[in-house]
Structure 1
């Protein structure tokens, strides 16, 4: 991934685009379809929940949506690791995506923790 946006919602959006592009160029057997479908759903859910949280009507809404975004980010890492370990494909690209999902998890978790202070 190239230069990363500072704003979390833009960074999540960029990550979603990267995952979509990765999936669109991947060649895999039908048995793996549901794994890639789950990856697509969880990766795009991160940004969607961040955007929802930012437009929430209360601090509780904000925190709830960010908590869901964190869970989606962790789920995304799971699917990427499963793909990495079961399918022969671009290991460097998968590694980059796993690293970005991990960074997003850390940023979102930090935001949630700071809300509790």
Structure 2
């Protein structure tokens, strides 16, 4: 499936772009360097792993890449929570990003479960 028609790819890319913009804002305007860099790494890694999954060599490889993306999404949520709870980002910023992230997480879980269920049915 090409990247243009892959919904999870598009969701994760849009989210990564939001994370890049937030990172630049935190670094340049708010002087926050440590947590924002962690957020930048994990938030963009979600999409990178999804991009890799598109050309997976097997279902197991595909599930592995999506599972890594899921772990990165969980880490990203942790960094967003820390930024919010330390009052570096606003509640509005936090909620907007976490809402998008929850959509990505839910979509990843659905895809992974669908493939696992299909494999069980095929046995």
Normalising by the residue count of structure 1, what TM-score does the alignment of the two structures yield? 0.87
Specify the alignment match of 2:73 in structure 1: 73
Specify the alignment match of 1:40 in structure 2: 40
Query: 1:103: Cα distance to partner?
Result: 1.3
Unaligned runs of 5+ in 1: none
1:50 is paired with a residue whose SS is: helix
Asked if residue 91 in structure 1 is aligned to residue 88 in structure 2, the reply is no
Query: 1:95: Cα distance to partner?
Result: 1.2
How many residue pairs match? The answer is 111
Specify the alignment match of 2:30 in structure 1: 28
1:78–1:115 Cα change, 3 Å: same
Larger Rg, first or second structure (1 or 2): 2
1:55-93 CA-partner distances (Å, limit 9, x unpaired): 111111100000000001111111001100003433212
Q: Is the 8 A contact 1:74 1:102 kept in 2?
A: no
Runs ≥4 residues deviating over 2 A: 26-29, 87-91
Alignment partners' CA distance in 2, 1:6 and 1:60? 19
Unaligned runs of 5+ in 2: 118-123
2:57 is paired with a residue whose SS is: coil
